[in-house]
Chains A and B, each alone.
Chain A
Amino acid sequence: MTILTGKAETVGRRRPEGGGLLRKIWDHRADYGYVLPAIAVMLIVIAYPIYYTIELSFFATPPGLQLRDKVFVGLNNYTAILTSPVFWTVTKNTLIWTVASTFLSFVLGFACALALHRDFLGRGILRAILIIPWVISAVAASYIWKWIYHSDFGIIGAVLVALGWTDRPPNFIDSVSTVLPSLIVVNIWREFPFAMIMMMAGLQTVPDQLLRAAKVDGANAWQRFWHVTFPHLRNVSTVTILLLAVANFNSFIIPWIMTGGGPSNASHIWITHIYELAFGRQRWGVASAYSVLLFVILMSLGYFYVRALSGNEQKDGAE
Chain B
Amino acid sequence: MAVTALVGAAGAASMFELLQLSPPGWGANLLRGLWNSILIACGAFGLGIGIGTLGAFGKLYGGPVVRDLLAVYTTVVRAVPELVLILILYYAVTDAVNQTLLAFGYDRIQISGLAAGIAVLGVVQGAYATEVLRGAIQAVPAGQIEAARAMGMPPGLLARRVTLPLMLSNALPGLANLWLVATKDTALLAVVGFGELTQETRQAAGATKAYFTFFMAAGMLYLILSIGSGWLFARLERRARRGQPELHG
Indicate whether A and B interact. Answer: no
- Taking beta carbons and an 8 Å cutoff, which residues of A are in contact with B? none
- Taking beta carbons and an 8 Å cutoff, which residues of B are in contact with A? none
